[in-house]
């Protein structure tokens, strides 16, 4: 993992790293120097964060598997040969977030017709991009993204404020944990942690089950044992939908559909309301409700706190959205440092894992050995794919994870889920 605070990816930093498949570039990086990733033949996707302003000569030249590049909102210069991937087997596509096309050179992009895919640009900027890049991207298409994006749960985390009756502020943390199947639907497990007083001491933790289909986000109602509509992201002004919370129902009305502009992105936004103002506010496509992801005002009736306001949203560790806050990096570091307990992830408090990050051996220390003896542990990656399994046979179990690539993983034991990082 690259350290927070890094500002430049220097010349030849990853050049010739043929086995490099993925890398997370910190938000602090502002420039990528020439040849930084040249000939990384296994690299297939890369996200250039919003702080990056320039990408140097041949930075990704020879990356013969590179098929998708997401360019942040500040990228203003692409040097020559940046994306000469030198492969007729791969079609390169780009997602651009800067409403102003970056300056580029005549050979910045692949020249062969078979190598040029789709460039997605912010809403209402297609004409500007075609004028600026059209002569370099003649064989592919340039299309506008007007914010119809769905919510992607894999790799996602949300951080909302909680305010109690005395005005004290704590937090709610939502995080993707794993995939599973409910009622024959492939769903994602989101761990919902309400920290009410002191961090780690007074928590309410639940597992929420969601899936997306046909522009609709469905949420599992455990009391009725059925899925209910949480968001209809394709709704138009005047439309409505019903959310079932326990045995109660909320009728949500779409009062307006607008475009929400955030750091060069144009995101579709629904202004919604209900009769008792329990879940009114703004739902931003690809992010969620800006007041509370779930209808917390109905869920917490009779309690002395309320969830009020999204502070940070991360995708695969990168800050993707924030509302009037500048401390999300510190929050993220605070949430992910040290020993990772399954308490913050699941609330059961049955095991801890350490060291975290680990360079080879992961220790699983059970808090209630008798209940976990013989239980199967499962290690999954960020996409929910199972990479390792085994049985718990000791109170302090050692698992050799040295064969796992560098990155973030989840371990599930007896209904509890913990998170750990492998570093090389």
List the one residue out of 70, 78, 74, 126 whose CA is nearest residue 95: 70
State which of 304, 335, 366 marks the end of a domain.
335
Section 192-203 average pLDDT? 68
State which of 145, 171, 190 marks the end of a domain.
145
State which of 285, 307, 335 marks the end of a domain.
335
Q: What is the percent of the chain where pLDDT is above 70?
A: 89
User: Could you tell me if 6 and 108 lie in one domain?
Assistant: yes
User: Could you tell me if 122 and 163 lie in one domain?
Assistant: no
Least confident of 82-96, 276-290, 363-377: 363-377
What's the whole-model pTM score? 0.52
User: Could you tell me if 105 and 191 lie in one domain?
Assistant: no
Mean pLDDT over each residue of the chain, to the nearest integer: 85
User: Could you tell me if 310 and 347 lie in one domain?
Assistant: no
Confidence (pLDDT) at 55: 97
Examine residue 150 and state whether it is found in any structural domain, yes or no. no
Domain containing residue 414: CATH number: 2.60.40.3080
Confidence of residue 420 (pLDDT cuts 50, 70, 90): confident
Q: Given a cut of 90, is residue 201 above it in pLDDT?
A: no
User: Could you tell me if 353 and 416 lie in one domain?
Assistant: yes
Examine residue 67 and state whether it is found in any structural domain, yes or no. yes
Please tell me the total count of domains within the chain. 3
**34 compared with 327, residue with greater pLDDT:** 34
Q: Given a cut of 90, is residue 170 above it in pLDDT?
A: no
In this structure, the strands spanning 77-78 and 54-55 are parallel
Section 116-121 average pLDDT? 88
Residue 355, preceding bond cis, omega within 30 degrees?
A: yes
What is the extent of the structural domain holding 128? 1-145
Q: Given a cut of 50, is residue 294 above it in pLDDT?
A: yes
């Amino acid at each position: 993992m690259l350290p927070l605070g890094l500002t430049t990816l220097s010349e030849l930093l990853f050049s010739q790293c043929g086995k490099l498949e993925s890398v997370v570039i910190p938000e602090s990086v502002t420039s990528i120097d020439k040849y930084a990733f040249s000939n990384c033949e296994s690299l297939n996707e890369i996200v250039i964060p919003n702080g990056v302003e320039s990408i140097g000569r041949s930075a990704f030249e020879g990356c013969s598997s590179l098929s998708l590049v997401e360019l942040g909102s500040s990228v203003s210069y692409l040097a020559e040969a940046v994306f000469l991937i030198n492969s007729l087997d791969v079609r390169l596509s780009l997602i651009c977030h800067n409403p102003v096309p970056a300056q580029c050179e005549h050979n910045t992009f692949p020249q062969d017709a078979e190598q040029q895919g789709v460039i997605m640009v912010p809403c209402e900027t297609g004409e500007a991009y075609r004028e600026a890049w059209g002569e370099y991207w003649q064989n592919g298409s340039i299309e506008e993204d007007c914010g119809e994006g769905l919510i992607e749960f894999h790799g996602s985390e949300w951080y909302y404020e909680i305010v109690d009756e005395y005005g004290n502020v704590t937090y709610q943390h939502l995080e993707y944990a794993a995939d599973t199947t409910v009622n024959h639907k492939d769903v994602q497990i989101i761990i919902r942690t309400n920290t009410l007083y002191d961090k780690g001491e007074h928590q309410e933790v639940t597992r929420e089950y969601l899936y997306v289909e046909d522009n609709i986000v469905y949420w599992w109602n455990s009391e009725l044992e059925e899925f209910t509509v949480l968001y209809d992201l394709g709704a138009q002004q005047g439309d409505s939908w019903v959310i079932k919370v326990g045995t109660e129902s909320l009728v949500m009305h779409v009062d307006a559909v607008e475009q929400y502009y955030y750091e060069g992105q144009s995101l579709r936004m629904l202004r919604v309301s209900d009769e008792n103002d329990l879940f009114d506010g703004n739902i931003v496509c690809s992010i969620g409700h800006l007041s509370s992801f779930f209808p917390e005002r109905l869920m917490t009736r009779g309690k002395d706190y309320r969830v009020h306001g999204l502070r940070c949203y991360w995708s695969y560790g990168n800050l993707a959205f924030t509302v009037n806050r500048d401390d999300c990096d510190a929050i993220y570091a605070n949430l992910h440092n040290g020993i990772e307990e399954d308490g913050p992830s699941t609330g059961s408090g049955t095991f801890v894992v350490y060291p975290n990050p680990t360079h080879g051996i992961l220790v699983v220390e059970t808090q209630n050995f008798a209940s976990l003896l013989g239980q199967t542990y499962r290690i999954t990656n960020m996409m929910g794919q199972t990479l390792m399994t085994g049985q718990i046979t000791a109170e302090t179990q050692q698992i050799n994870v040295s064969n796992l690539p560098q990155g973030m993983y989840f371990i599930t034991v007896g209904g509890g889920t913990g998170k750990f990082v492998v570093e090389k």
